[in-house]
Structure 1
Amino acid sequence: MPTISVIIPVYKVEAYLDACVASVVGQTFRDLEILLVDDGSPDGCPALCEAWAARDPRVRVLHRQNGGLSAARNTGIDAATGQFLAFVDADDTLDPDALRRAYEAQRQHKADLVIFNLRYVDEAGQALPAPDFSGFPDEVLDEDGVWQRYFSLQEQRIYYVVAWNKLYKRELFRTLRYAPGKRYEDQFLLPQLLSRCKTISCLGYPGYHYVQRRGSIMAQGSSRNYLDRSEFLLEWCTYFAQKGDALRAEGLLNDAIQNLGEKERFDLSTPEQRARYRTACRGCADGYALLACTTGRRSMWLRATLLRLGLPVYQKFLQSRQ
C-alpha cells in the first residue's frame, strides 16, 4: 500500500501535463501512487498519460467518459489505495519537497489534514507578486480556527478552500465526494470536510505552484456570474445555523440574497437554469426560516415571509429601510 495517492484529473491540458506529472514524479517523497484520471480528453493527453505509466511504475492511468473535474476527482478517490490523498490540477506543479514536508507535518501533529501554502505563477513558472501569501505562518488549528482565519481574509481565502494544496487522511473521504457538475466544488465540500477534522496542520511553505493561464475553469469570469456561488453560500448558511453560529449564517445568507438580486448576471436562457434560480430564491426564504427557529427572532420570520413572496418584494422591503 502506498503512503500517498496523488490524484491528477486530466482534460485538455496537453501543453501543461508533462510539467505537472514531472513535478509529482520528481517529489523527494517517493512512496507515491500517481493516478492520472483521463476525463475523456479529446487531445493528446490520453497518450501522454500512457507514456508516463510506461515510464514510471507508480503511475496508473484511469480513462473515463468526460464528466467534469468533480467526477474525475471522485474516480481517483474511488481507485486510490494510499493512506493519504493529494490532488494536483494538471496545469499546475508541485515544489519538489511539497509532499515530504506535508507528510512530516502530518506525522508530527497527527493531523487529519495538512494545508501547505501556494504561489501564483505565470505560464513560464515565474512567481507573480499578487496575491501575496507570504503572511501565512506554520500553525496547528481546529475547524473553528480555520473558519476564523478564512473569514478574516479576502483574496488569500483560497489557501483554505481549494482541494489541491492539501494532504488528506484518506478516511476523510469515506463518505465524501465532490459534487459533479458544480463550479466551486471545493466550497461545496469544505464544511463537511472540516467538520471531520480534529487537527489541521497549516504550513507557510509555498509547495504548490498555481499556474495562471487563459482558458482554465477559474479564469472564466466573476464567481458572482454563476448560480453555483449562491448555492454553496446557502449550504454554508445552513451549516453554520445548525452549528449555532447565527451571525455568520446570516452574513452568508445576505451575500447569497444580494448575489441573486443581481439577476442580470446569470444565464437564465434555459428552463433548467430558471428552475435553479427559483430554487435558490426559495432557499433564501428557507434560510431565514431556519435562523428564525434557531434564534427565536421575529424579525427573521418576517424576512422569511417576505422572501417567500418573492425576491423583488424583499428588495423593496430593504429599500424602505434605507
Structure 2
Amino acid sequence: MPAISVIIPVYRVERYLDACVSSVLAQTFGDFEIILVDDGSPDGCPALCDAWARKDPRIRVIHRENGGLSAARNTGIEAAKGQFLTFVDSDDLLEPDTLRRAWEAQRQYSADLVVYNLVYVDENNRPLASPDFTVFRDEVLDEAEVWRRYFALEEQKIYYVVAWNKLYRAELFRELRYAEGKRYEDQFLMPRLLAQCGRIACLAYPGYRYVQRGGSIMAQGSSRNYLDRSEFLLEWCDYFAGKGDLLRAEGLLNDAIQNLSEKERFDLSTPQQRARYRADCRGCADAYMRLARRTGQNTMRLRAALLRLGLPVYQKFLQSKNGR
C-alpha cells in the first residue's frame, strides 16, 4: 500500500500533462502512486497517459467516459490505494519537496489534513506577484480556526478551500464525493470534510504551482456569474446554522440573495437554467424560514415571506428599509 495516492484528472491538457506528471515523479518523497484519470479526453492525452504508465510502475491509468472534473476525481478516489490522497490538476505543477514536507507535517502533528501553500504562475511557469500568498505561516488549526481565517481573507481564500493544495487522510472520503456537474465543487464538499478533521496542519511552503491559462475552468469569469456559487452558499448557510453560528449563516444567505439579484450575470437562455434559477430563489426563502424557526425572529419570517413573492419584491423592501 503506497503512503500517498496522487490523483490527476486529465482532459484536453496535451500541452501540459508531461510537465505535470514529471513534477510528481520528481518528488523527494517516493512512496506514492499516481492515478491518471483520462476523462474521455478527445486529444492525445489518453495515449500520453498510457505512455507514462509504461515508464513507471507507480502510475496507473483509468480511461472513462467524459463526466467532468468532479466525476474524474471521484473515480480516482474510488481507485486509490494510499493511506493519504492528494489531487493535482493536470495543467499544474508540484515543487519537488511538496509531498515530503506534507508527509512530515502529517506525521509530526497527526493531522487529518495538511494544507500547503501555492503560487500563481503564468503558462511559462513564471511566478505572478498577485495574489500574494506569503501571508500564510506554519500553524496547526482546528476546523473553527480555519473558518475564522477563511472569512477574514479576500483573494487568498482559496488556500483553505480548493481541492488541490492538500494532503487528505483517505478515510475523510469514506462517504464524501465531489458534487458532479457543479463548478466550485470543492466549496460544496469542504464544510463536510473539515467537520471530520481534528488537526489541520497549514504550511507556508509554496508547494503548488497554479498555472494561469486561458480556457481553464477557473479562468472562465467571476464565480458570481454562475448559479453554483449561490447554491454552495445556501448549503454553507445550513451548515453554519446547524453549528449554531446563526450570524454567519444569515450573512452567507444574504450573499446568496445578493448574487441571485444580479440576474443579468447568469445564462438563463434555457428552460432548465431558468427553472434552476427559480429553485435557487425559493431556496433562499426556505433558508430564511429555517433561520426564523431557529431564532424565533419575526423579521426573518417576514423576509422569507417577501422572498416567496419574488426577488424584486424583496429588493424593494430592502430599499425602503434603507431609506432609498
- TM-score w.r.t. the length of structure 1 is 0.99
**Superposition deviation, residue 279 in structure 1:** 0.8
Match of 1:252 in 2: 252
Report what 2:234 is aligned to: 234
Query: What secondary structure sits across from 2:204 in the alignment?
Result: strand
* Alpha-carbon offset, residue 287 of structure 1: 1.1
**1:115 aligned counterpart, secondary structure:** strand
Deviation of residue 264 (structure 1)?
1.0
User: How much has 1:313 moved relative to structure 2?
Assistant: 1.0
Aligned-CA RMSD value: 0.6
**Does the 8 Å CA contact 1:5/1:32 hold for their aligned counterparts?**
yes
Alignment of 1:137 with 2:141, yes or no, is no
1:1-322 counterparts in 2 under 5 A?
1-322=1-322
Q: CA deviation at 1:311?
A: 1.1
* Shift, 1:316, TM fit: 0.9
The question of whether the paired residues in 2 share the 8 Å contact of 1:172 and 1:193 is answered with: yes
Unaligned runs of 5+ residues in structure 1 are none
* Secondary structure, aligned partner of 1:155: coil
Superposition deviation, residue 291 in structure 1: 1.0
For 1:294 and 1:239, the matched residues in 2 are separated by: 13
In the alignment, the residues of structure 2 paired with residue 184 and residue 268 of structure 1 have an alpha-carbon distance, to the nearest angstrom, of 19
Q: Which letter does structure 2 place at the counterpart of 1:183?
A: R
Q: Kindly provide the amino acid, as one letter, of the partner of residue 290 in structure 2.
A: L
- Look up the SS of the partner of 1:30 in the other structure: coil
Q: Alpha-carbon deviation of 1:61?
A: 0.3
Deviation by residue 1:249-298 (Cα, 9 ceiling, x = unmatched): 11110110011001111111111111110110011011111111111111
Distance (Å, rounded) in 1 between the aligned partners of 2:277 and 2:51: 45
- The answer (yes or no) to whether the contact 1:178–1:186 under 8 Å persists in 2 is yes
How many Å separate the matches in 2 of 1:245 and 1:301? 18
1:225: how far off?
0.8
State the AA in 2 paired with 1:143: E
* C-alpha distance in 1 between matches for 2:98 and 2:294: 43
CA distance, structure 1, for counterparts of residue 202 and residue 116 of structure 2: 6
Q: Is the CA contact 1:106–1:201 (under 8 Å) kept in the aligned structure 2?
A: yes
CA shift digits 1:7-39 (9 cap, x unpaired): 000000000000000000111110111000000
Question: Are the equivalent residues in 2 in contact too, given 1:244–1:294 (CA < 8 A)?
Answer: no
Task: Give the Å deviation of 1:108.
Answer: 0.4
Please give the alpha-carbon distance, in whole angstroms, between the structure 2 residues aligned to 1:312 and 1:245: 28
Distance 1:301 1:77 in 2: 42
Give the superposition deviation at 1:197. Answer: 0.5
Question: 1:196 corresponds to which letter in structure 2?
Answer: Q
Deviation at 1:107, TM superposition (A): 0.4
Q: Aligned equivalents of 2:8 and 2:321: distance in 1?
A: 51
Q: Deviations over 1:213-269 (max 9, x none)?
A: 000000011111100000000000010111110111111101100110011111111
Deviations 1:158-197 (A, max 9, x none): 1001000000000000000000010000100010010010
Q: Under a length normalisation based on structure 2, what TM-score does the superposition of the two structures give?
A: 0.99
Gaps of 5+ in 2: none
